[in-house]
Structure 1
Amino acid sequence: MTRSLSQKFRFFTFICIALLAYVHGYNLENGYLAPFSSVEEPLTITTFFEYFVANGLLRFRIPMLFIISGYLYATYDHRPYLQQVKNRFRTLLIPYVVWSGLGLLFTFLLQQFPYTAKVVYEAGIDQLGDNRPYAEIGWRGIVERWLLAPISYQLWFILSLFIFNLLYPVIRWLVVKLPYIWLPFTFILFFVSIINVPFIDFRGLFFFSLGVWVQKRNFSLEKEPQWFSLGLAMIVFIGFSLIKTFMAFELEPDTKQTWTILIIMHQVAVVAGIMSMWFGADRVIKWFLSKRWYHVTSSYSFFIFGIHVPLLPYMMQWAVMNTSMFPNYRLLCYLLVPLVTLSICTVVGMLLHRFVPKLYGFLTGGRGF
């Protein structure tokens, strides 16, 4: 792997994780935005902008992270399988369990005080839809939320990645031996993203497999293909995101026709967005690489990923509850709270790394050393 490609992987890993704050930090009445989500509140500058950014422009990030993960895993697959699994257990599964437990503990502590308990309740981010205090849910509910449905809901990504790593020998065989069957099949599964199988994320399976395929075929990721048009890709990416946003407000909610249209628009925009960002951001990457703060901050990417939820939705709910007297307060909160949260996460990571490095290493699976 060339140095420039390694720098590009690091840049997009950091950017994709940092932008999660703006994907998870919206304050729409719809507390969960899926690819097929419509909006039942009035169309305003605030609601349009938040949906356009959170459920449109920035949705390329996780698929891109899966591609990078598949490529990197395939690059080092000459290592013994058991050694790789053991390493991924330390770097993915242990952080999953630890960060999930910390999210539960943080939420439980907030529930002990009336004011913060109200913030937690109003945020309503419990994946199982039960926002009662944990003291009322019982131990069975706590264990279920700890291992299967974390309040730190972003952790689904590293759990899916761990499963893909476990299945890697099978995925590699299918990618190498049956690429023109396996890749189209998983691409269809990606498009039909409403299919749900426990512990298997079909939205990521195609992109992880694609990363493996690109590495095994030794395709250049640094040279723009002759058939590719950056201008056209940008038009499709931004255009489909805009049109989908308008449709989310205008179409009849919760119908099969609405879901189908929004999913197709969403997935096309995701693919165009990946291509646009990868081949169109070289000047931006060069600018970031010239900044010292970028090199410092980007080393805390995984820590930011682990800590930003549930902190972010609670901070967003608190900010919305306390700024309603200001004009355009929801839009201001959306613009500022994620940025403040990212700053807090980075500072906490720096302090832990400096003063309790062993704890930091444990939380991040040994990253940053």
Structure 2
Amino acid sequence: MTIQPFISQKFKFYSFLSMFLLVYVHGYNLNNSYLQPFTIVEEPLTFTTFFEYLTANGLFRFRIPMLFAISGYLFALGDEQPYLQRIGKRTSTLLLPYFIWSAIALLITFLWQQFPVTAKAVFNAQIDQFGDNRPYTQIGWKGILERWTLVPVAFQLWFVRVLFFYNLLYPLLKLAVIKIPKIWFPISIILWLGMFGLHFIEGEGMLFFSLGIWLAKRNKDITVVPRWLNLKWIAPVFIVVCILKTVLAFYALPNMFYGITLLLLHKITVFTGFITVWFGCDGLVRYCMQKKWFVWTSAFSFIIYALHVPLINYTHQLILPYIKTVALYRLADYLLLPVLITGISIATGALLRAAMPKVYSVLTGGRGL
């Protein structure tokens, strides 16, 4: 099945936009930097704290669901190819880059740990998923192996790990989507709302990956707004709920009532944001995809995704102590550092692609060539 040119453009545009905004989400620098749907802000309400939470834990949260939906849609288009052949290809495009970039993140961390100033930055970042931020020379080979395979310091890699397993489960997911959609989607929505999650399967990705399969199998123009959707009210709901959730996060108490309230507001934000951005930005998509510089830049989406963590986390801790006397230093850090890290990632990708295209192909799973 062929894909419409404009849909292909939208997929490329939103893949790049999602990766670029992901750098901002991971560039969030408030005191409690671990963002979950129900995260509360344990510091005063200021323009900086409000803006960072509004964007990183509100406006930008449509990204991962959109990427899963795009992935499900594209995978469903390839049904004419044998399943095992496609899984073999996904091993090289997802699983191999996962292990390579996990190893690169370990190496970056190890190198930063060798010098007192940068070692302090690594420790202060506190991004080890085991909560053990000792130097790697002290955690032993078992600890290194676990961080390489299961809980990478480049924690964003969870997406490609989970996506690979959804590809493995594709025959079952397709069967559920086609044969029992009225049963499967309510179950998926409940798992999504309940934040169901295992190491290889979780609710948010499963729902939107299934949605992508369903949309592909319907064979309808997904650039046309359905009659039952009205952006004139969905877009305002998206903005208002984002603001409401942000304000509540500053005054909520750490209890179940507020946690569930923030979670539900977050889910409304994700759903309305997904619809608003997909259907409401066609003019921006057309404008950007006509610019050669943007098309060239968007080819490096995967390298931005793979390289930005742990660099942005460590660099935060490295520079923040030296700019505390600057007015609005945290806001400046939040706005500018992601641009710098994105630029470094793109430059790294461009150099690798020019000098060692085969290596670049392996690192990116064949993307951006």
Q: Answer yes or no: same fold by TM over 0.5.
A: yes
Q: Within 2, Cα distance between the matches of 1:281 and 1:10?
A: 14
Q: Within 2, Cα distance between the matches of 1:198 and 1:363?
A: 23
How big is the shift at 1:368?
2.5
Give the paired residue count: 367
Q: Which runs of 4+ in 1 moved over 6 A?
A: none
Question: Is the counterpart of residue 150 in structure 1 residue 149 in structure 2?
Answer: no
Counterpart for residue 292 of structure 2:
292
Counterpart for residue 71 of structure 1:
73
Q: Within 2, Cα distance between the matches of 1:172 and 1:135?
A: 46
Counterpart for residue 232 of structure 2:
231
Q: Within 1, Cα distance between the matches of 2:153 and 2:321?
A: 21
How big is the shift at 1:231?
2.0
How big is the shift at 1:45?
1.0
Q: What pairs up with 1:295-334 in 2 under 5 angstroms?
A: 295-334=295-334
How big is the shift at 1:292?
1.4
**Which of 84-93 and 255-264 deviates more?**
255-264
Q: Within 1, Cα distance between the matches of 2:244 and 2:331?
A: 21
Q: Within 1, Cα distance between the matches of 2:281 and 2:264?
A: 25
1:78-131 CA-partner distances (Å, limit 9, x unpaired): 210110100000000000000001000100110011000001111111111111
How big is the shift at 1:133?
0.9
Residue from 35, 38, 42 that aligns with 2:37? 35
Q: Within 2, Cα distance between the matches of 1:316 and 1:53?
A: 18
How big is the shift at 1:286?
1.5
How big is the shift at 1:196?
2.6
Residue from 166, 169, 172 that aligns with 1:170? 172
How big is the shift at 1:31?
2.3
Question: Is the counterpart of residue 216 in structure 1 residue 230 in structure 2?
Answer: no
Q: Within 1, Cα distance between the matches of 2:79 and 2:37?
A: 33
How big is the shift at 1:132?
1.0
How big is the shift at 1:261?
0.3
SS at match of 2:242: helix
How big is the shift at 1:162?
0.1
**Which of 214-223 and 69-78 deviates more?**
214-223
Counterpart for residue 114 of structure 1:
116
1:263-305 CA-partner distances (Å, limit 9, x unpaired): 1000011000010001110111121022111011111111111
Counterpart for residue 282 of structure 1:
282
Counterpart for residue 355 of structure 1:
355
How high is the sequence identity, in percent, across the aligned residues? 49
Letter in 2 for 1:224: V
Counterpart for residue 249 of structure 1:
250
Q: Is the contact between residue 67 and residue 209 of structure 1 (CA under 8 Å) also seen in structure 2?
A: yes
How big is the shift at 1:150?
0.6
1:157-200 CA-partner distances (Å, limit 9, x unpaired): 0000000000000000001000011011101111111x332211
Structure 2: segments with no counterpart, 5+ residues: none
Counterpart for residue 344 of structure 2:
344
Q: Within 2, Cα distance between the matches of 1:23 and 1:126?
A: 18
1:48-73 CA-partner distances (Å, limit 9, x unpaired): 11111000000000000000000000
Q: Within 1, Cα distance between the matches of 2:132 and 2:46?
A: 30
How big is the shift at 1:203?
1.3
Q: Is the contact between residue 31 and residue 125 of structure 1 (CA under 8 Å) also seen in structure 2?
A: no
1:194-218 CA-partner distances (Å, limit 9, x unpaired): x332211211100000110111112
Letter in 2 for 1:205: M
Q: Within 2, Cα distance between the matches of 1:306 and 1:257?
A: 36
Q: Is the contact between residue 117 and residue 318 of structure 2 (CA under 8 Å) also seen in structure 1?
A: no
If the length of structure 1 is used for normalisation, what is the TM-score?
A: 0.98
How big is the shift at 1:362?
1.2
Tell me the C-alpha RMSD between the 2 structures. 0.9
